[in-house]
Chain A
């Protein structure tokens, strides 16, 4: 219980609620005190005006005797708790309903009746000399005293419930937000313990910032899940795609052993085993490079790359190979350099992979075009062919590692070329799209400038 309270106390909403309550109470108190002071002063002024008016009334009496009689008559009709009149005549006699005495403790008003009781209450007094005597009029401040009570009541009736409501509201909010935070924490705990499918499900009453944190947690979890799934997939792919060639190497070595026993020519199984091993090494190299590209480390040494020059070099490199297969490789490049920030080797390899793909998967006399277009906000690099193309439903899958269309199983290649193209494009923040070239395939990489 104590720990739970301590936990609540440290929660943000409760602290906010308390702060607001404190602020509200201070403002209310200040405004109440202000209006109390103003009201009190105006009451006092009214009493003083009454006193002055009373005094003026008595001053109208024609003589000391008449004044004394007037005071006596008025005194009988007034309640001494409200108004006290006291006239000390020139002869020293006291008329009225009270006498004002003074000692060490201040003024005392004493009844003139037989009991000589002392009035308590607080009075405002006005004293003047009339016909050689001293007339004192005192009016009670009871109304002003009552005013204070009224204000205290107002305070109790209005402020206390507000404070209580705000406090309990804060507590409820704090508990609720604690529950929401608990949901996020629980998800994180599950993620930490390896349940990568765990997600935060924000309730309808969640605050925006908590929902956003929840969404960020989900995003992180999704990314984590994807990369772990990718890793798992790669392990499976490696196991599958490398087991087969390793199996074949083992077959070729058996053949070699048999050739030795039969004293026949060992060169063919030898060459086959070697070719098989080269293929295995190539797959490993491609997978390693893919992993490195996907890690994004290469961004650290990005430099300006002239795509026109690079396209020209790579096309020129592949042109004789294309011609040897009876295919045409042409370039459609701008005259001036087109520069993007990137890794020259990786972009070059991406382009090489695209050209190799185009040459590999097209028929005789195919035409492959490498082109580059620069617009205001993008540089578009495309490699187009007039071969069989890739069906729409397969276009996403060919970007995956080791995925090969059934009809391509017989051709060379390890199914990592387009995955690397995809990885390099992502590394450069470029968009990779596969389009129908009617007929053929057009691969477009859009670099943002």
Chain B
């Protein structure tokens, strides 16, 4: 993917750019809002990673200008402010997702990947498959290697979310937002315990692990 990072703090931008390049993306970096706007309108990018506080032109204004001009490139907004209002401001200005500093690179990477693939996530499927696991979305039955697995509604939703995004890392916060509709991060490892319960039903009785832990980032189903 071709990505643009607009961030004035060089330590952060270097860190982000290096990490994304290691994942095989092409990354351009600019350090102020005006250059960011020029670069974003002229280059064809898959995702913009935009800091909210920038010299010359702040991130929100840049974003509004871009959207006003009809540019629909997905934007991930980075901010030091994490309160609900700021989140709403950012999303109202046209951001597609929002990440509060300080963040882990895994979180950023997972969210960038989710943004880039967002349009494809709309496809209508009735059966999801991964390896020998099958999920029937209509009868709401899950079988693995011909064996039926009993799941609670939330476990079903969690597994469905991971299956629909096969091969892509889903972080704790992404799962909290998607499965529980919660936009705060509790201090307790609630997602981990849900995942381990799901694993106990989906993975433990079988030979291979479908749900993988990606260190420092989240979970992924790869098969």
Question: What B residues does A346 contact at CB under 8 A?
Answer: 84
B188: A residues at CB distance < 8 A: 318, 321, 356, 359
Given A285-B100, A313-B181, verify A321-B84 contact (CB < 8 Å): no
A359–B189 Cα gap in the complex (Å)? 12
Q: Is the CB of B82 within 8 A of A343?
A: no
Q: Is the CB of B85 within 8 A of A298?
A: yes
Q: B83 at interface (Cβ–Cβ under 8 A)?
A: yes
Q: Tell me which residues across on chain A come within 8 A of B126, comparing CB atoms.
A: none
Distance of B30 from chain A, by nearest CB (Å): 26
Cα A289 to Cα B82 with chains together (Å) = 7
Report chain A residues within 8 Å CB of B182.
313-314, 317, 345, 348
Are A318 and B187 in touch, CB under 8 angstroms? no
CB distance from A362 to the nearest CB of B (A): 13
Given contacts A301-B88, A320-B193, A320-B194, contact A352 B184 (CB under 8 A): yes
Bound-complex Cα distance A320 to B197 (A) = 8
Q: Is B190 an interface residue (CB 8 A)?
A: yes
Chain A residues with Cβ under 8 A from B65's Cβ?
A: none
Interface residues of B in 162-197 (CB under 8 A from A): 180-184, 186-190, 193-194, 196-197
Considering only CB atoms and an 8 Å cut-off, how many residues of chain B contact the other chain?
A: 23
CA distance in complex: A282, B189 (Å): 14
* Chain A contacts for B100, CB-based, 8 A: 285
A-B contact count (CB 8 A): 59
Contact residues in A for B82 (Cβ distance below 8 Å): 285, 288-289
In the assembled complex, A281 has its CB within 8 A of some CB on chain B: yes
Contacts A285-B100, A316-B154, A324-B193 hold; do A343 and B187 have CB atoms under 8 A apart? no
Residue B102 lies at the interface, judged by CB distance under 8 Å to chain A: yes
Task: Please determine whether A345 and B85 come into contact, CB atoms closer than 8 angstroms.
Answer: no
What's the minimum C-beta distance from B175 to chain A, rounded to whole angstroms? Answer: 11
A281 to B188, CA, bound (A): 15
Which of B81, B85, B190: most chain A Cβ within 10 A? B190
Residue interface bits A283-318, CB-to-B below 8 A is 1, else 0: 001001100100001100100000000000110111
Residues of chain A lying within 8 A (CB to CB) of residue B197: 320
Which residue of B102, B181, B190, B196 is within 8 Å of A318 (Cβ)? Answer: B190
Question: Looking at chain A, what size class is its interface with the partner chain?
Answer: 20 to 34
Q: Smallest distance from the beta carbon of B117 to chain A beta carbons, Å?
A: 26
CB contacts (< 8 Å) of A330 on chain B: these are none
Within the complex, the shortest CB–CB distance from B104 to chain A, in Å, comes to 9
Q: Is A133 an interface residue (CB 8 A)?
A: no
With a cutoff of 8 Å between Cβ atoms, the chain B residues found around residue A288 in the complex are 81-83
A321 to B81 CA separation, bound complex (whole angstroms): 29
Report the nearest A residue to B152, measured CB to CB: A316
Given known A292-B83, A297-B85, A343-B84, contact A349–B190 (CB-CB < 8 A): no
A315-332: contact bitstring with B at CB < 8 Å (1 yes, 0 no)? 011101101100000000
Q: How many Å lie between the Cα of A410 and that of B195 in the bound state? A: 28
**Contact partners of A245 in chain B: CB under 8 A:** none
Instruction: List residues of chain B with CB within 8 A of the CB of A277.
Output: 102
Besides A282-B187, A289-B83, A317-B182, 11 other CB < 8 A contacts? A288-B81, A301-B88, A313-B182, A316-B154, A321-B189, A323-B193, A324-B196, A345-B84, A348-B184, A352-B186, A356-B188
